[in-house]
């Protein structure tokens, strides 16, 4: 089992509670060396709908050409590896994502975003709980736009599922999560994904009362830079 493998590699000492239980993946709070808090994302299954969309994301990405004809189990391993590789690329480019630590088959170990096993709120949750002032929201908005730009320019990636559900607010700053579906800017659909990301972010912040930039302006600025 991958968890045992990870503990013998010194990546993981123990698994504590469940942080989130989704359809395809479960995220646990774990402990590592020196009692460090960890987030352990375990990919469980792929629904057929997910598998179809996955193929859409993987097809044409030169890094993951070998997905064709693989068993569902191997596809999950590739998907976990894709998230790990995307996290590494973003983290190295200085984008605030959970620090990627270890990968073993369908299990990914990363920095825990939160304190004492209590995860930080998602942007959506922090907003709905009234924790964010309009000034905070405006700052976070520009930070997210800058993160999108860094992703494209410095990491060569487009997130592809960016929204208030995949941004956590930790120590007053946004942390971008859930990057398994992120694609290389060489991907044939990367422009479409980028447009969607910018659209989602614009919609959320504009509803929240932030004076947002026109999404088409952001997009064309971004594409000109490249």
* Active site (catalytic) residues: 161, 178
CB of 177 to ligand ATP, least distance (A): 5
Tokens of 216: 């088409």
- List, in sequence order, every residue forming a beta bridge with 18; answer none if it has no partner: 28
- Counting residues that bind ligand ATP (by CB under 6 A) gives 19
| Residues 163-182: x where in contact with ligand ATP by CB under 6 A, - otherwise, as a string | ---x----------xx----
- Do 71 and 63 meet the contact criterion of CB atoms below 8 Å apart? no
Cα of first residue to Cα of last residue in the chain, in angstroms, is 43
CA distance 115 to 37: 8
CB of 92 to ligand ATP, least distance (A): 17
Q: Closest CB to ligand ATP among 9 and 115? A: 115
CA 167 to chain centre: 8
- Do 153 and 170 meet the contact criterion of CB atoms below 8 Å apart? no
- Do 180 and 85 meet the contact criterion of CB atoms below 8 Å apart? no
* Residues counted in the chain: 226
Of 178, 181, 202, 212, the one binding Mn ion (CB under 5 A) is: 178
CB of 20 to Mn ion, least distance (A): 8
Among the listed ranges 6-14, 71-79, 110-118, 204-212, the one in contact with ligand ATP (CB under 6 A) is 110-118
Residues 115-154 close enough to bind ligand ATP by CB under 6 A:
119, 122
Half-sphere exposure of 187 (CA within 13 A, CB side): 26
Among the listed ranges 44-52, 126-134, 139-147, 175-183, the one in contact with Mn ion (CB under 5 A) is 175-183
Binding site for ligand ATP (CB under 6 A): 19-20, 22, 24-25, 27, 39, 41, 98, 110-114, 119, 122, 166, 177-178
């Amino acid at each position: 089992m991958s968890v045992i493998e990870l503990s013998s590699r010194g990546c993981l000492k123990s698994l504590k509670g469940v942080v989130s239980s989704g359809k395809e993946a479960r995220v646990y709070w774990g402990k590592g060396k020196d009692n460090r808090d960890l987030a352990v994302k375990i990919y469980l299954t792929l629904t057929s709908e997910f598998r179809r969309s996955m193929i859409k994301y993987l097809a044409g990405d030169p890094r993951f050409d070998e997905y064709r004809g693989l068993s569902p189990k191997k596809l999950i391993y590739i998907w976990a590896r894709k998230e790990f590789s995307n996290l590494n690329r973003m983290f190295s480019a200085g984008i605030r994502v959970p620090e990627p630590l270890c990968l073993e088959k369908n299990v990914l170990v990363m920095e825990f975003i939160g304190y004492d096993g209590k995860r930080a709120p998602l942007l959506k949750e922090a907003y709905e709980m009234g924790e964010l002032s309009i000034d905070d929201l405006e700052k976070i908005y520009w930070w997210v736009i800058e993160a999108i730009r860094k992703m494209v320019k410095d990491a060569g990636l487009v997130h592809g599922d960016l929204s208030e559900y995949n941004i956590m607010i930790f120590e007053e700053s946004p942390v971008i999560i859930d990057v398994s579906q992120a694609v290389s800017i060489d991907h044939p659909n990367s422009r479409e994904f980028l447009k969607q990301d910018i659209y989602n972010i614009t919609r959320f912040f504009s509803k929240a009362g932030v004076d947002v930039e026109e999404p088409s302006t952001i997009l064309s600025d971004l594409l000109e830079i490249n």
